[in-house]
Amino acid sequence: MMRVGLFKPVHVKTLASQEKRMLLTARQLVQRKMLDVDADLRGTLRNFGQKVGVVGQAGFETRIRELVEGLPELAAIIEPMLTTRRVMRRSSPSCTGRCSTSCGMIPSAGG
């Protein structure tokens, strides 16, 4: 195979490089899912005539709770989603402490 040119050499990545790539991929997946949960919360509330509006990450859960305060049926739907959101944000993978600064990734403050 080598004589006829069917074999091409491939660069083998180091274990550290593979670990960094896996961390970045996992972080990107969790970030996408966190955005999906936020969008789903907004969409669910909109179906019930409630608008979240422009609100930062810190006040998002508080705003959602304000909107469902007098609606126990809606609160029962929203509560598990808020719990999921809170857990995901607390445990999202970041670069801090897991790889060297040479990976070039800047850890985000809120995910």
pLDDT in tens, 40-82: 999 999 998 989 889 888 899 999 999 999 888 999 999 999 9
Contacts made by residues 18-25, CB under 8 angstroms, sequence distance 24+: 19/99, 20/99, 20/103, 20/105, 23/93, 23/95, 23/98, 23/99, 23/103, 23/105, 24/103, 24/105
User: Across all residues in the chain, what is the average pLDDT?
Assistant: 82
Instruction: Tell me what pLDDT residue 108 has.
Output: 47
